[in-house]
Each structure stands twice: as structure tokens, then as C-alpha cells.
Structure 1
Amino acid sequence: MYSIYIVEDDQQIATLLGQHLGRYGYDVTYTNKFDEVKTEVIEHSPDLILLDINLPYFDGFHWCRQIRTFSNVPVIFISARTDEMNQVLAIEHGGDDYITKPFHLDVVTAKIKSALRRTYGEYANNTDSEQKEINGLIIYPNKNEVEFKQSRIELSKKEFLLFAKLIAQPDQIVSRDDLLESLWDEVDFVDDNTLSVNVNRVRKRLHEIGIVDAIHTVRGQGYRLRVNW
């Protein structure tokens, strides 16, 4: 039984979510200490977190950053903020997905199932575990890490899955549909902009270790990873 931790200050919405997920067999807990979210996550060690943005004391972005200092637990934002900038910020601060209010409960359930499968289920360990090297870039699949010229970074689960998909077909176009399917099971519920945001995150992470402009957008088709860095 997977445990879901709900951080939502609207009691009606929190209860609605909790009752619905409980019918699917999830163990649901709620926070009522909105100034102690990090402490409660450490205490409960949930398998997934549903996180609102507009919260008392600190917003959801703050808490997601705090959680990412010690855990890669899947975090799905649920917010009334529908603009693209907040969706970008959610992912930039470490979120795995974003659902706008008002939401359909079936969409929430599908996204939760997808995130849990990616993290703990049948797709959790589908990358080759052996260390690889391509043109001086060293890849550590067991750690979700990459190293270049003695600079090493750890990628999030989704960042690494996306990067692994691209580098498995170097200098070839990988379609947006293929990338979406490699990161999310329920692609019908994924905003196309979400993929673009994740690609940009990987670009920025590679830039941190000195690899610049490696991922090229092929308009109307997908992305190409050029390995002549």
C-alpha cells in the first residue's frame, strides 16, 4: 500500500482527495501544521506528496525545495494557478508534475499511478545499470549522475530518464511522443509544455558541467542530442 501525503489548506479539497484515494487503497495522511511540512515529511516518509502552492507561512515552492534537500519522493503540485509560469516554477523547484484546479479526480489518480510506477514499480529500474562513457561524459545510471571534465551532478529521476532516452540515440531525432512515453505513462493527461520545461531543465543541468547547446529542438518533430561536446 502506497502512502500519500496531502499538503492542502482547503479542508474540503483535502478531504475530497483523501476519500477518493482511500477508495483506491492508498494510505492517506494530511498536514495541519503548515509551518512544519518538512518535519512531517521526514516523520511520515510518504511515497508521494500532493502539494498546493498557496499555503500559510510558506508556499509550496519553498517546501518542495526543502524536501529536495533530503528526498526524491515524487511531488505533484495541485494549484489554482493556471498560468504556464507557475507550472514552470513548480518543475524548476523540483516538482514532478502539475495539476490545475478545478481538477478531475480520475486525472489525479492517473498521474499518481504514473508517478508511483516510475519511481517504485515496473519502470523504476529500466535503465542500464552499467557505467558508460561517451566522448568524455561519464554516466552513472545507478546514481542518476553524470560527470564531465571532473564536474559531476546528480539528476532527478525524470531528468535522468529524459537524458538516457536522448543519449541512447545520439545525433538522432527522438520524437516528442517517444520522450513523453518514456517519462509518463498516462500521456493523454500531460501538457506538452511540461516536456519542454523538463528538456530545458536538463539543458541547464548539463550547462553546469560545461556541456552547452547539446540538446537541439527539431521543430515539429522532437529533440536531438549532439554528442560532439
Structure 2
Amino acid sequence: MKRIFLIEDDPKIANLLKEYLEKYEYSVTIVQSFDRIINEFTESDPHLVLLDINLPRYDGFYWCRKIRSISNCPIVFLSARDSGMDQVMAMENGGDDYITKPFNFDVVQAKIKSIMRRIYGEYAVTKQADFIEINQFILHLTSMEIEYHGTIASLTKNEFILLKEFVEHENQVLSRTHLLEILWDDEHFVDDNTLSVNITRIRKKLEDIGIKDSIQTVRGAGYKLVNTWG
């Protein structure tokens, strides 16, 4: 049974969502203390986090960063904020998806099912080895990290899925539509800006380990990974 950790300060919404999702055989744990979110997250060891933005003391962006510092567990934001900037901030802080309140429970369940299937089920990345190496650049498949000359950076789930696709199709142009499809199954579920945000984050992390200008934009076509370090 897949475990979900729900960080929501409205008891009515939290309990309704818990009751609904448990009908689909998810185990849902609602946060009890907003001063112990990280402790409760660690104790519940969830497969997925549902995270509100407007929370007591610190907002959801803060807690997303905190969770990301210790885990690559997928995080789906639930928020009444419907601006594009809030959605971009959610992705920049490590979120995997964003659902606007008031939401349809069926849509929430469908998105959760899609993410679970992609990461843990039939669409999960097949690991033939623990890493892929190109001229001393290493993509660690189990830990979802990148390494170059001993410098290591961690990836989020979406960053890992995207970068693995680039590595496996080195020097090939990958269209935006294709990249959206491997991330979210149905590209219409998300704003196209979220792909740009993830690409920007991957480029920054590659630069942090010493690899520059490797993911190149092909105008009107998409992106491609070019070996600029070998």
C-alpha cells in the first residue's frame, strides 16, 4: 500500500481528502504538528507528499525545500493560489506538480496515480546498472545524483527523469512535447513553463559540478545534450 503524507492546515479538507484517497487503498497520514513536519515526514516515510502553501509559521515552499534536502519523494502542491508565478515557484523549490483549490478529488487521485505509476510502477525507470557514465560524467541511477571529477549534486525526481532521457539520447534533439509526456503523461495537466524551470535547474546543477553549456536549446525543435566536458 502506497503511503501519502498530507500537509494541510484545514482539518475539513484534510479529512475529506484522506477519506477519499483511502478508498483507493492509499495510506494517508495527516500532519499533526506544524513544528514537527520534518520529523513526521521521516516517521511516515511516504511515497508521495501533498503540500499546501499557506501554512502556520512557514509556507509550503519552505517545507518543500526542507523535504528536498533529505528526500527525493515526489511532492504535489495543493493551493488556492492560482497565479503562474506561484506554480513556477513551486517547481523551482522542488515540487513535482501543482493542483489549484478548489479541486476535484478525481483529478487529485488521477494525478497521484500517474505519479505513482511513473516513479514506482509500470512506467518507472528501468535500472540495468547503478550508473551511466560518459567521459567521467556519472549519472547515478539508484541515488539520483550526478557526479563529475568527484563533485556530486542531487536531483529531484523530475530532474532525474529528464536528465536520464538526455543521457540516453546524447546529441539527439528531444522535443518539448516528448519531454512533457515522459514527465506527466498528459502534457495538458501542467503549464509548459514547468519544463523550462526543470531544464534551468538541471543546467544549474550541471554547472555546479563543472559542466557548462551541455544542454542546448534547439530553436523551434527542443533540447539536446551535447558532450562539452569530454
**Fold-level similarity (TM above 0.5):** yes
Using structure 1 for the length normalisation, give the TM-score: 0.90
Give the aligned partner of residue 7 of structure 2: 7
Distance 1:39 1:139, change over 3 A: closer
SS at 2:159 equivalent? helix
Return the offset for 1:127. 4.3
User: Aligned equivalents of 1:28 and 1:45: distance in 2?
Assistant: 11
Aligned partner of 2:98 in structure 1 is 98
The answer for the alignment partner of 2:112 in structure 1 is 112
Find the aligned partners of 1:56 and 1:6 in 2 and give their Cα distance.
15
Residue by residue, what CA displacement relative to the aligned partner does 1:119-173 show, whole Å, maximum 9, x if unpaired? Answer: 3222334244253332332232233222223322222222111011112222221
Cα displacement string for residues 15-47 of structure 1 (whole angstroms, at most 9, x for unaligned residues)? 332222122221222123222111111222222
1 CA distance for matches of 2:34 and 2:58? 8
Distance 1:219 1:115 in 2: 30
Partners of 2:105 and 2:219 in 1: CA distance: 34
**2:76 aligns to what?**
76
The match for 2:221 is: 221
The residue identity in structure 2 corresponding to 1:88 is V
Between 1:194-203 and 1:127-136, the stretch displaced more is 127-136
Separation in structure 1 between the aligned mates of residue 65 and residue 220 of structure 2, nearest angstrom: 34
Distance 1:221 1:127 in 2: 29
CA distance in 2, matches of 1:205, 1:59: 25
1:50–1:78 contact (8 Å) kept in structure 2: yes
- How many residues of Structure 1 are paired with residues of Structure 2 in the alignment? 229
Aligned ranges 1:23-62 → 2 under 5 Å: 23-62=23-62
On the 8 A contact 1:128/1:141 being kept in 2, the answer is no
CA distance in 2, matches of 1:60, 1:66: 10
**Alpha-carbon contact 1:34-1:56 (below 8 Å) kept:** yes
Superposition RMSD in Å: 1.9
Aligned to 1:129: 129
Deviation at residue 192 of structure 1 after TM alignment: 1.5
* Partner residue in 2 for 1:161: 161
Checking the alignment, whether the CA contact within 8 Å between 2:75 and 2:96 is kept in structure 1 is: yes
Instruction: Give 1:50 shift.
Output: 0.5
Report the equivalent of 2:138: 138
What runs of 5+ residues in structure 1 fail to find an aligned partner? none
Shift of 1:84: 2.4
Matched ranges for 1:165-176 at <5 A: 165-176=165-176
CA distance in 2 between partners of 1:70 and 1:228 (Å): 30
Distance (Å, rounded) in 2 between the aligned partners of 1:152 and 1:39: 26
| CA spacing shift, 1:81–1:223, aligned 2, 3 Å | same
Query: 1:188-227 residue pairs with structure 2 within 5 A?
Result: 188-227=188-227
Unaligned runs of 5+ in 2: none
SS of the residue 1:82 aligns to: coil
Letter in 2 for 1:199: I
User: TM-score w.r.t. structure 2 length?
Assistant: 0.90
